[in-house]
Amino acid sequence: MTRARIAVACLLAAVTGALAGSAAAEDLARGEALYGLCAQCHGSEATGSKLAEAPSLAGLPQWYMENQLHKFQDRTRGEHPGDITGLRMAPMSRALRSDEDLSAVAAYIASLPAHTPEPLLVGGDAARGKELFSLTCVACHGADAMGNQQMSSPPLRYASDWYLYRSLEKFRAGIRGANPADTVGATMRPMAMTLPDEQAMKDVIAYIHSLSE
């Protein structure tokens, strides 16, 4: 390559790099604007609100939130008549008018700092929970409970404990992950069934929380 060609190539690389950078910044700004609606329930920092029954989202990766938002939109999650809180979230997902908007808001939330919500559940035994977690959950959610994109399994580590509990209850009762179109949720349902009782659910959640202490 001549020196002039190299200079042109460098310039082009710099320009396309800057364009990509500003496109990403625009998407985040768009995502932040869209998040205004979500903040009413999930909070301005996306750390959740028990009062609104809306879980913490900060610390969840973009791909997982996109999957869930598509499920809420397609009525594969939050459509069961017994799913009171899912039914509250589903119409909110439909306020996102395009896949671009859906991705922009998920990217914005994923850019917020992860946060460990205050524990609200009582009576869990983290030591027993560790045994249960190591036996099953670890295979998909990982030893550090940070999730595994290949298995479509989310991090559990930054979740509100009351929300984890409620989600396990829903999987067990066939209120979440039981829709035939929800093939990913179907992989989680039998795992929730391996926990013998409510105490075991509390124990495993106490252990997940202890990972962030």
Using a 10 angstrom Cβ sphere, with 0-12 exposed, 13-18 middle and 19 or more buried, the burial of residue 27 is middle
Q: Are 57 and 42 in contact (CB under 8 A)?
A: yes
- How many angstroms separate the CA atoms of 61 and 201, rounded? 24
Q: Please state the closest distance from residue 166 (CB atom) to ligand HEC, in A.
A: 6
Least Å from the CB of residue 25 to ligand HEC: 19
Shortest reach from residue 23's CB to ligand HEC, in Å: 21
Query: Among the candidate windows 7-15, 18-26, 114-122, 158-166, which touches ligand HEC by CB under 6 A?
Result: 158-166
Q: Which stretch binds ligand HEC (CB under 6 A): 1-9, 16-24, 114-122, 151-159?
A: 151-159
Count of all residues that appear for the chain in the document: 213
Tokens of 170: 């829903």
- Measured distance CA(11)–CA(9) in Å, rounded: 5
Per CB under 6 A, 54 contacts ligand HEC: yes
- Our CB check for ligand HEC shows the closer of 42 and 209 to be 42
CA distances from 107 to 2, 9, 76, 147, 203 (A): 41, 31, 22, 17, 32
Under the binding rule (CB under 6 A), the answer on residue 121 touching ligand HEC is: no
Q: What residue ranges bind ligand HEC (CB under 6 A)?
A: 37-38, 40-42, 52-55, 57, 60, 65, 67-69, 85-86, 88-89, 92, 95-96, 105, 136-137, 139-141, 151-154, 156, 159, 164, 166-168, 177, 184-185, 187-188, 191, 194-195, 204
